[in-house]
């Protein structure tokens, strides 16, 4: 084939008319010119537009939306363009009904393409009545500009801070708290962290708030070991934010994108606040994982509990148990729950939460699931149901091997990544577990993320 024939049919910096035919899992509209795929932020399927070519690769390219010629009926007015630039609300231009269909379709596509499971029924995504102001946690970077502290969010794929004070998807009280804490730090001359020189004090302000309790935790993430005028700062925060029950300093002296460091100091109260979930009260520490949308989490976890089909006689293993949010709900309906978690702080919080809720039929153990589960099996634990809620990377191959060794009748898989879910379901299918349906749940409106609950049943011989 000659070099000319291999050349892309578009040229950088040129403009073209194109129709958007699809939306990727990253939220990019797909246009094709003479079969050559172009990815365009901000477009929607069914729209026609003028696009400008920004980058041309061997098999695909990227373009910028210049002008819409035909608009999708699913397009809605953007609430805040800053949320598009920062990537905090990449789907805000798509109607909420359209977002729910998009997420259902992503799950279906991944199950078919990656898991080779085209026959699994994917139900319509369960959405929210009000898909705004749902986040109960914010981790906001702090930088210096013209001698003042500013807060906001980094522009997508950069370390350039976009000033933002209203995030729209966060609890409004959290947005207010960030501004008040920032201004108090400013009043006392606290310097923001500078990445280039690795100097300065305050790196991030984290705020967590109980959706049902209204209790608030403030975490000051610092590069330095000490905060100047710390007593005065703490006093003012408590005066101006009466919901605050905990103020913690987290120290991170490394040059890293990881937000939290290993060391923490309690500056006020204790290193936890409380919230409620499915009738239980949870103490949540500064480092604890806790779902950011409790309203939808209750729906998600209830689906998982229903899928487990518990009668009160079952032994359940809950892998990746965190602070015990699913474990305690399962324990209400099971004979006994064995739960494990690799994070030491989470196990301590889980045990504390079980005690606070008067639940005794649950055993928590520190360790990796792929190591703990075989040990339990060897000790004679026979699980009827296995519940897994892994991070985005999905299940480790060693875990899947251990899970198959448990030989549970049912596996309930709660996933935050359809691609790794599909991959893992395909592996389980090879080992005698069948998935009949999948239920997406929208925990993150205006974003690309979707949670999914599936039930795997052992194929009867």
Ordered domains of the chain (ranges, CATH): 3-75 (2.40.50.140), 104-128+293-458 (3.40.50.150), 137-277 (2.40.50.1070)
- How long, in residues, is the chain? 461
Question: Rounded to an integer, what distance in angstroms lies between the CA atom of residue 171 and that of residue 166?
Answer: 10
Catalytic choice (207, 408, 414, 416): 416
List the pLDDT tens digit at each of the 461 positions of the chain: 444 456 899 999 999 999 999 999 989 999 999 999 999 999 999 999 999 999 999 999 999 999 999 999 999 999 999 999 899 999 999 999 999 999 999 999 999 999 999 999 999 999 999 999 999 999 999 999 999 999 999 998 888 999 999 999 999 999 999 999 999 999 999 999 998 899 999 999 999 999 999 999 999 999 999 999 999 999 999 999 999 999 999 999 999 989 999 999 999 999 999 999 999 999 999 999 999 999 999 999 999 999 999 999 999 999 999 999 999 999 999 999 999 999 999 999 999 999 999 999 999 999 998 899 888 888 888 899 999 999 999 999 989 998 998 999 999 999 999 999 999 999 999 999 999 899 999 999 999 999 999 999 987 64
Q: How far apart are CA 425 and CA 435, in angstroms?
A: 7
d(CA 87, CA 157): 9
Q: Which helix (H) or strand (E) holds 222?
A: strand 216-222
Whether 37 and 60 have beta carbons less than 8 Å apart is answered as yes
Q: For residue 444, which of 82, 23, 134 has the smallest C-alpha distance?
A: 134
Active site (annotated) includes residue 321: no
Question: What is the Cα gyration radius of the chain?
Answer: 24
CA of residue 320 relative to chain centroid, distance? 15
Q: Which of 219, 352, 326, 181 lies closest to 274, judged by CA? A: 352
Q: Is the pTM of this model over 0.85?
A: yes
């Amino acid at each position: 084939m000659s070099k000319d024939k291999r050349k892309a049919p578009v040229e950088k910096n040129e403009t073209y008319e194109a129709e958007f035919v699809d939306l990727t899992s990253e939220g990019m509209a797909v246009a094709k010119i003479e079969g050559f795929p172009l990815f365009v932020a901000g477009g929607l399927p069914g729209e026609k537009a003028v696009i400008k070519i920004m980058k041309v690769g061997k098999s695909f390219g990227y373009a910028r939306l210049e002008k819409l010629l035909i608009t999708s009926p699913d397009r809605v007015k953007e609430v805040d363009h800053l949320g598009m630039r920062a990537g905090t609300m990449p789907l805000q231009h798509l109607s909420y009904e359209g977002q729910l269909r998009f997420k259902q379709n992503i799950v279906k596509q991944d199950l078919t393409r990656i898991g080779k499971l085209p026959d699994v029924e994917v139900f319509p995504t369960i959405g929210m009545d009000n898909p705004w102001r749902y986040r109960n946690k914010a981790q906001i970077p702090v930088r210096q500009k013209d001698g003042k502290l500013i807060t906001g969010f980094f522009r997508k794929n950069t370390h350039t801070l976009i000033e933002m004070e209203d995030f729209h998807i966060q609890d409004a009280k959290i947005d207010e708290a960030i501004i008040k804490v920032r201004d108090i730090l400013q009043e006392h001359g606290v310097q923001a962290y500078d990445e280039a020189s690795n100097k300065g004090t305050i790196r991030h302000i984290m705020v967590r708030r109980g959706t049902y309790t209204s209790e608030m935790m403030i975490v000051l993430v610092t590069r330095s070991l000490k905060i100047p005028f710390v007593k005065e700062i703490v006093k003012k925060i408590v005066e101006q934010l009466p919901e605050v029950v905990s103020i913690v300093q987290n120290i991170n002296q490394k040059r890293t994108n990881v937000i939290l460091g290993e060391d923490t100091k309690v500056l006020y109260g204790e290193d936890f606040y409380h919230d409620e979930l499915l009738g239980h009260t949870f103490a949540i520490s500064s480092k604890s994982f806790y779902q950011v949308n409790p309203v939808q989490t209750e729906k998600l976890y209830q689906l998982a509990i229903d899928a487990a089909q518990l009668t009160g006689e079952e032994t359940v293993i809950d892998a990746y148990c965190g602070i015990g949010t699913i474990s305690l709900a399962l324990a209400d309906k099971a004979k006994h729950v064995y739960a494990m978690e690799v994070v030491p702080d989470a196990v301590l919080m889980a045990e504390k939460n079980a005690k606070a809720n008067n639940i005794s039929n649950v055993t928590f153990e520190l360790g990796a699931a792929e190591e703990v589960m075989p040990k339990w099996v060897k000790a004679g634990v026979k699980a009827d149901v296995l519940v897994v809620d892994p991070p985005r990377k999905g299940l480790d191959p060693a875990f899947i091997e251990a899970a198959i060794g448990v030989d549970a009748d049912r596996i309930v898989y709660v996933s935050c990544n359809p691609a790794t879910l599909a991959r893992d379901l395909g592996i389980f299918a090879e080992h005698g577990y069948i998935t009949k349906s999948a239920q997406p749940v929208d925990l993150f409106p205006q974003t690309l993320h979707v949670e999914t609950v599936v039930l795997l049943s052992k194929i009867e011989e």
